Amino acid sequence: MNPEEEDGGNKRKRREMGRGKIEIKKIENKTSRQVTFSKRRNGLIKKTRELSVLCDAHIGLIVFSATGKLTQYCSEHSNMPQLIDRYLTKEGLQLPDLNDDRDDLRHEIEILRRETCKLELRLRPYHGHDLASIPPHELDGLEQQLEHSVHKVRERKKELLQQQLGNLSRKRRMLEDDNNNMYRWLHDEHRTGIEFQQAEIETKPMEYQQFLEHVQYYNDHQQQQSSVLQLPTLPSEIDLSYHLQLAQPNLQNDPTITKVD
């Protein structure tokens, strides 16, 4: 292989190994977009500095990132305000003057103040002031306007009262329903308790009678000893086996339980 063919092969190899073309469109990946922005921003600032030094150009560069971060560069022996003023002068533009804005605001405030005073003067007759200077036909119109306003206020007040009465009626019905439900529930519980007690008395009438006699005897015994401070004791005549049977009726026929004498 001759030297010319070898050089041509090397050039083609370098071209194949070189960087390919990149499609110019928005980078969707956020991290990749931020990395690309940082690299290309630094390259842009470098190229701007080189252009300013090589060609003695006055350059001002302002860059805002997607997050709003500001990056700026200004060539040597210049500053950004001077460059912006030169650009505005060259293009025939002018920034708004803050003093002019203040004058406009003062003028608008003065107009609003005069309008407010006029409205206050118009409202004074509605409060009963300055009526002596009003002619009779204007007083008639003022009276009609006030009557119309009073009528509208009364209608609105009536609507509010009707709404309040409706709400109170609904609350009263709800409370009555709750009260009736509670009364029926208590009545059912009371009737169930009475039926249960009657069933117990019917199944064990003798034990119930003995229990009543014991309770009566115990009350008589307590009344006799009411003048002496002592702990109440059960009389010896009370049969403990019957007391146990009333509390636990299922143990009545248990052979393991013996009657205590």
Question: Would you say residue 214 lies in a domain?
Answer: yes
Q: How many helices (H) and strands (E) does the chain have?
A: 7, 2
* Domain final position from 197, 218, 239: 218
Q: What is the mean pLDDT of the chain?
A: 77
Place of tokens 């059912």: 188
In this prediction the pTM is 0.33
Does 155 score more than 90 pLDDT? Answer: yes
Question: Would you say residue 3 lies in a domain?
Answer: no
Residues 26/34, Cβ–Cβ less than 8 Å: no
Same domain, 116 and 158: no
Across 93-102, 133-142, 143-152, the highest mean pLDDT is recorded for 143-152
Same domain, 125 and 196: no
Tens digit of pLDDT for each residue in 191-224?
888 877 777 666 666 666 666 676 676 667 666 6
Q: Say how far apart CA 30 and CA 27 lie, in whole Å.
A: 7
Q: Give the burial class of 52: count Cβ atoms within 10 A of its Cβ; 0-12 exposed, 13-18 middle, 19 or more buried.
A: buried
E strand segments, the chain: 60-64, 70-74
Residue 258 — very low, low, confident or very high, per pLDDT cuts 50/70/90? very low
Q: Say how far apart CA 165 and CA 159 lie, in whole Å.
A: 10
Task: Give CA angle at 151 (148, 154), nearest 5°.
Answer: 155
Same domain, 38 and 109: no
Question: Would you say residue 58 lies in a domain?
Answer: yes
Same domain, 144 and 203: yes
Same domain, 171 and 209: yes
Same domain, 146 and 207: yes
Residues 65/59, Cβ–Cβ less than 8 Å: no
Q: What is residue 70's three-state secondary structure?
A: strand
Range of the domain at 65: 30-95
pLDDT number for residue 1: 53
Same domain, 125 and 52: no
Question: Would you say residue 2 lies in a domain?
Answer: no
**Average pLDDT score over residue span 76-85:** 87
Torsion angle of C-alpha atoms 109, 111, 112, 115, degrees rounded to 10: 160
Question: Would you say residue 25 lies in a domain?
Answer: no
Task: Give CA angle at 144 (159, 153), nearest 5°.
Answer: 15
**CATH number of the domain residue 37 falls in:** 3.40.1810.10
Place of tokens 């009726």: 249
User: How much is the CA Rg of the chain, to the nearest whole Å?
Assistant: 53
Same domain, 148 and 207: yes
Same domain, 143 and 213: yes
Same domain, 125 and 142: no
What total of structural domains would you count in the chain? 3
Same domain, 142 and 110: no
Token couple for 224: 């006799």
Question: Would you say residue 150 lies in a domain?
Answer: yes
* Domain final position from 218, 235, 250: 218
- 96 vs 141, residue with greater confidence: 141
Same domain, 78 and 108: no
* Domain final position from 95, 118, 145: 95
Question: Would you say residue 207 lies in a domain?
Answer: yes
pLDDT number for residue 145: 87
- 225 vs 172, residue with greater confidence: 172
Q: What is residue 73's three-state secondary structure?
A: strand
Strands 60-64 and 70-74: antiparallel
E strand segments, 5-122: 60-64, 70-74
Question: Would you say residue 233 lies in a domain?
Answer: no
